[in-house]
Structure 1
């Protein structure tokens, strides 16, 4: 059975169909890229899976349980983590305290104001930081970190509730090419080690083709292609949507993006 099953998903804003009856599945141990040009419906789809938007129609099931109608916090407690396009941490807190706060929330103790983050599951927080290569910087304030390291801390926070599914919204936005590759290689290793699944949106095609196991492509709210990277690279509808006619996802295109 699929970990995530999306069927007939639709969302309209006024008379505009932002997402128009799309279907896809995601399995444990898999990275699935959700791509498409601006206005394709990627963010709307992403936010419906996360519960930030309620679908007008269709179904979103995690391990067979319907998510539509559930608030984001309940979806998170079911084992869905998320990172954001712009990484957000508590800059005045240390790296390890940020992860400890996530563990407090995972244990439903965040509102127990008498508890201090510094006293909660420090070793578990350190283990999470070790998984993302940030243990040596555990006691530094997040305000002192380079942006690539902040993204690693955010990833540790996102896996603090041991998610089955991780949603990553533009995970490499604002990062240099080496940082992008390092973060996605780390994510791929976490998928293997934890047997979780990742659904991610991304504009950097070098990242998508290098790390996605499968890809789904949206255009004007509809799913126009689904398959492995090599299949998507040569798909005529995808070529037309991205480049018009006569061009493809050639290696030189990816190399140019890698250098930006």
Structure 2
């Protein structure tokens, strides 16, 4: 049974139809990549699932719960986590305190002015950091970390709420090829271990083809293709939309690896 079911989703801005009646689903334990050229409607779709934008038409159901019309906080409470293109952490807090703040939020508790995050569920925070390979740096301020490590901390923060579905917006943006692969391999491990689903947008085709179980491809707000990596790699419409006639994803991936 599908965890997330998106049906006939649509959104307009003025006279522009940014998303035009798309339908897709995601299963537990699956990484689904949402890809397409600039202006395809990826961000609009992503933000409707997250509740930042309200759909004009259609339905978004998580485990049977309708998400359309729900605020982001309620959607988060129903089991949807999120990471962002630019990692968001409290730079002056330690790595552990950042995760402890997420645990406080997950437990719907307010941090009193006299109470530090360091006093709350430290063992649980350390266990989450261990999952992402950051437990040894638990007491360092986030401001001291390399960017790839900040992204790992952000991942620990995102899963503190034990989400059923994790939304990842350009998770490897700004990262070197090795960092990209390390982060996505780690994400894949968490997906399998926690039976969590991931919907992610990504411009790096090497990441998409290496780690996505399935892909959905948008162009001008419409879904033009859906399938596994090989189906998408060889889809003539997708190649035409992305690269023009005669070009291939292999050439794109090779260029990215060389950069």
Shared fold by TM > 0.5?
Answer: yes
In the TM superposition, residue 82 of structure 1 has moved relative to its aligned partner by 0.1
Aligned to 1:254: 253
How well do the aligned residues superpose, as a CA RMSD in angstroms? 0.9
**Over 3 Å off, 4+ runs:** 111-115
Cα drift, residue 92 of structure 1? 0.4
Q: Does 1:214 align with 2:214?
A: yes
The aligned counterpart of 1:30 is 30
Which residue of the partner structure matches residue 181 of structure 2?
181
1:124 alignment partner in structure 2: 124
1:202 aligned residue: 202
How much has 1:245 moved relative to structure 2? 1.0
- How do 1:94-243 and structure 2 match up within 5 A? 94-110=94-110, 112-243=112-243
Residue 5 of structure 1 aligns to a residue whose secondary structure is strand
Question: SS state of the match for residue 249, structure 2?
Answer: coil
* Secondary structure in structure 2 of the residue aligned to 1:40: coil
**Larger mean Cα displacement after TM superposition, 105-114 or 190-199:** 105-114
How much does 1:86 deviate?
0.2
Matched positions, count: 259
Matches of 2:52 and 2:218, distance apart in 1: 20
8 Å Cα contact 1:101/1:110 also seen in 2: no
**Contact 2:169/2:201 (<8 A) preserved:** yes
Q: Contact 2:7/2:58 (CA < 8 Å) preserved in 1?
A: yes
Secondary structure of 2:140's partner? coil
Residues 3 and 28 of structure 1 are in contact (CA less than 8 Å); yes or no, is this contact kept in structure 2?
A: yes
Deviation at 1:259, TM superposition (A): 2.3
Cα distance, 1:257–1:224 mapped onto 2, change above 3 Å: same
Provide the rounded CA distance (Å) in 2 between the counterparts of 1:205 and 1:245.
18
1:110, distance to aligned residue in structure 2 (A): 2.8
Unaligned stretches of 5+ residues in structure 1:
none
3-state SS, counterpart of residue 98 of structure 1: helix
1:80-102: CA deviation from partner (whole Å, max 9, x where unpaired): 00000000110000000000000
TM-score, normalization: structure 2? 0.98
